[in-house]
């Protein structure tokens, strides 16, 4: 009963918090928390917090758009680009109603550029980047400008304009060093690729070592995986298969730690719950309707508590009755077993002449005739008690025996 009561009380308080939380949001604080969680690989914590806020229904348009934007960045951090774009589209639809100079509108452009680029949709990414450049990179986050420079550098790399790419990468590196040194491995990976194209493998290896040290010091697992993957690819591309094999073994260990696919699967489960409830919350937007819904929930919770309380009491009563019946049955069986000791050997094993029984079934009946319990028979025959019961039932049907009492009666008669 205590377990059931705890579950329903917990469910009640969760529902209560959904209806009355998320007021007066501190968007800057929330964004810092989400960025920190995602960087440390705690994407599920980010998604749960953002889902709870969205489910609260107490958001103005700007707050809702910002939370949807942060949900998009969370999905991009686990490489789920389809979900990222979906949330960006939702956020953009709301952001169009905000003032032209609202910072979120520029942040959305940056995020579109990133997700299109990560998803190898370079034409779309370049189109957004041109729009960002036309607005003179108006963004309060220097890291984002570093990312844009890296993407511009990569587009030069694709065109084999290596000097221009190298300049963009080092400009990005300089910004990232000042903004957030823990994100340097992203730039280092781009430089590794550049020097691989220039056939300077030693320089790529040197940068790889620096990148892994930074990832270790910042404790960012995903950057270690990202950098190691890039180095493995470079080795294979340059036919250095021995080195590729060694770094591939290390990469397998890192990926097992991350277990990214499980995270995505679990996040989708939570997201499904958010999607299903989103429409319900929009329909119950005013306080009066929320009060009605909350009252119904409380009533259902109370009825559920009463139902499970009564059910639990009935189960306890049934268990007591069953225990008494089993005890009585045990006493009867003990009595039959004592009586069976006085039977002659020729009468005790009358069933051994039956051709309808297998040797295994006859062996079981011998133990039964000797007065052993189901548990003792199971131990002797190395089977479960349920198997003993199953075989006994079949044997009784074959020999036309009603129950154990009838069995001992037949033993005495024979």
Per-residue model confidence (pLDDT) at position 340: 45
Q: pLDDT tens digits, residue range 159-214?
A: 999 999 999 999 999 999 998 899 899 999 999 999 999 999 999 999 999 999 99
Per-residue model confidence (pLDDT) at position 18: 46
**Mean pLDDT for the stretch of residues 122-143:** 82
In which region does residue 219 sit, left (phi positive, over 0), alpha (psi from -120 to 50) or beta (all else)? left
**Mean pLDDT for the stretch of residues 117-135:** 88
pLDDT at 88 over 80: yes
Torsion angle, alpha carbons of 230, 234, 240, 244, to 10 = 10
Per-residue model confidence (pLDDT) at position 284: 58
Per-residue model confidence (pLDDT) at position 262: 54
Q: pLDDT tens digits, residue range 317-346?
A: 877 766 765 565 555 455 544 544 444 444
| Helices (runs of H) and strands (runs of E) counted in the chain | 20, 0
- ∠57-109-55 over CA atoms, to 5°? 10
Per-residue model confidence (pLDDT) at position 41: 82
Question: Which tokens in the block code for residue 374?
Answer: 């189901």
**What is the greatest pairwise CA distance in the chain?**
106
Per-residue model confidence (pLDDT) at position 233: 93
Higher pLDDT, 101 or 68: 68
Mean pLDDT for the chain?
Answer: 82
What domains are there in the chain, each with its CATH number? 1-136 (1.25.40.10), 141-258 (1.25.40.10), 341-413 (1.10.10.10)
3-state secondary structure of 243: helix
Q: pLDDT tens digits, residue range 265-307?
A: 566 656 655 655 555 555 555 667 777 888 888 989 888 889 8
Give the span between the Cα atoms of 186 and 181, in whole angstroms: 10
pLDDT at 4 over 80: no
pLDDT band at 22 (very low <50, low <70, confident <90, very high): very low
Per-residue model confidence (pLDDT) at position 103: 85
């Amino acid at each position: 009963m205590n377990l059931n009561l705890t579950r329903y009380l917990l469910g009640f308080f969760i529902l209560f918090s959904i209806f009355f939380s998320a007021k007066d949001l501190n968007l800057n604080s929330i964004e810092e928390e989400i960025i920190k969680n995602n960087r440390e690989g705690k994407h599920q914590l980010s998604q749960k917090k953002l889902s709870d806020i969205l489910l609260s229904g107490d958001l103005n348009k700007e707050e809702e758009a910002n939370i949807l934007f942060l949900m998009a960045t969370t999905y991009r951090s686990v490489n789920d680009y389809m979900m990222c774009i979906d949330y960006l589209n939702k956020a953009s639809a709301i952001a169009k109603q905000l003032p032209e100079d609202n910072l979120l509108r520029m942040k959305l452009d940056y995020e579109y550029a990133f997700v299109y680029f990560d998803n190898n949709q370079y034409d779309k990414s370049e189109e957004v980047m041109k729009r960002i450049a036309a607005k003179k990179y108006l963004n309060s986050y220097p890291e984002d400008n570093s990312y844009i420079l890296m993407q511009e550098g990569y587009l030069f790399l694709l065109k084999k304009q290596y000097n221009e790419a190298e300049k963009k990468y080092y400009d990005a590196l300089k910004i990232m060093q000042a903004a957030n040194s823990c994100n340097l491995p992203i730039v280092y990976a781009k430089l590794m690729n550049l020097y691989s194209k220039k056939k300077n493998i030693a320089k790529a290896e040197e940068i790889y070592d620096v990148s892994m040290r930074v990832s270790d010091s910042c404790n960012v697992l995903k950057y270690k995986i990202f950098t190691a993957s890039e180095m493995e690819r470079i080795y294979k591309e340059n036919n250095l298969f021995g080195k590729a094999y060694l770094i591939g073994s290390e990469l397998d260990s890192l990926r097992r730690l991350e277990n990214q696919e499980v995270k995505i699967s679990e996040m989708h489960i939570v997201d499904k719950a958010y999607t299903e409830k989103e429409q319900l919350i929009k329909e119950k937007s005013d306080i009066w309707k929320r009060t009605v819904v909350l009252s119904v929930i409380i009533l259902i919770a109370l009825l559920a508590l009463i139902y499970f309380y009564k059910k639990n009491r009935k189960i306890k009563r049934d268990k007591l009755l069953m225990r008494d019946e089993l005890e009585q049955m045990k006493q009867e069986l003990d009595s039959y077993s004592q009586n069976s000791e006085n039977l002659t050997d020729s009468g005790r094993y009358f069933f051994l002449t039956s051709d309808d029984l297998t040797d295994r079934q006859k062996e079981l009946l011998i133990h039964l005739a000797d007065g052993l319990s189901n548990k003792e028979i199971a131990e002797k025959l190395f089977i479960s008690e349920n198997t003993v019961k199953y075989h006994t039932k079949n044997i009784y049907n074959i020999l036309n025996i009603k129950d154990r009492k009838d069995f001992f009666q037949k033993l005495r008669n024979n």
